[in-house]
Amino acid sequence: MQDGLGDWYPLMKLSESEKREYEEADRRFREQHADCRGGRWSISGSRVTHCCFCCPPPPMGPKQVEKLARLFASWPSQEERKKDLDSWDLTLRCDHVVPYIQHRENARVSTRVVDCPECGERRGVVSSERVGPTYHDDGTIRERAAADRERLARELAAAKAKLTRQQKNTAATQQRIAELQEELGSEPS
């Protein structure tokens, strides 16, 4: 594991005899690990090289295990992480609205297509709207009834506005048809 010879210097800084020694060590490594085709690893202060494919790294010492245990213990629990999730309503190309959950740090939805449960097809996302936190502080899923009513009210208002625009377009088209018919009727045959 450790030969005590120190690290290899960069190849440009090796003397001719050190280059031959390095090349011989590299040749021996390639003979021993001809089928591995993996990377290499070594320990600082040693010239012994190990293969990443067949030579496992040395086991962790007690200090490393303790440090990792402290690191993992400081991570928030799954229940704590749930409190950072927001619900979104995604309007799809098929005009269906589906719920979507993602982390609160995202300012916009991070997906462009989702599966529509109503159509059974994968559909593109036309628009997205943040509904709010997915979970209460006690970890339960928030009540969606109020949010659903608000969403439905917004959808109703949007549909009414769309209908009004379409009615105006229809009236304008009917007016143009009447004008064209009048012009056709007044021309001599």
Cα angle 66, 79, 86; round to 5: 125
The verdict on 30 and 94 lying in the same domain is: no
pLDDT exceeding 70 applies to what percent of the chain? 91
The verdict on 97 and 160 lying in the same domain is: no
The verdict on 56 and 86 lying in the same domain is: no
The verdict on 60 and 91 lying in the same domain is: no
In 3-state terms the chain splits into helix, strand, coil percentages (rounded to 5) of: 40, 20, 40
Q: What mean pLDDT do residues 153-174 have?
A: 90
Tokens for 39, please give them.
Answer: 């990377």
| pLDDT at res. 53 | 83
SS3 90: strand
Cα angle 19, 20, 24; round to 5: 115
Q: How many domains does the chain have?
A: 3
The verdict on 89 and 112 lying in the same domain is: yes
Long-range interactions of 139-146: CB distance < 8 A, separation 24+: 139/79, 139/82, 139/83, 142/87, 144/87
The verdict on 21 and 61 lying in the same domain is: yes
Is the Cα dihedral 166, 168, 169, 174 positive or negative? positive
The verdict on 3 and 53 lying in the same domain is: yes
Tokens for 76, please give them.
Answer: 């928030």
* CA nearest neighbour of 144 among 155, 154, 134: 134
The verdict on 70 and 97 lying in the same domain is: no
**Domain end call among 127, 142, 157:** 142
Residue-wise pLDDT for 23-60, tens only, equals 998 898 888 888 887 788 888 888 888 888 888 887 88
**Domain end call among 75, 109, 133:** 75
Domain of 15, in residue numbers:
1-75
**Domain end call among 105, 124, 142:** 142
The verdict on 19 and 89 lying in the same domain is: no
Q: Which residue has the higher pLDDT, 170 or 104?
A: 170
Give the DSSP H/E element, type plus range, for residue 61.
none
The verdict on 105 and 126 lying in the same domain is: yes
pLDDT exceeding 90 applies to what percent of the chain? 33
The mean-pLDDT minimum among 16-20, 87-91, 182-186 falls in 182-186
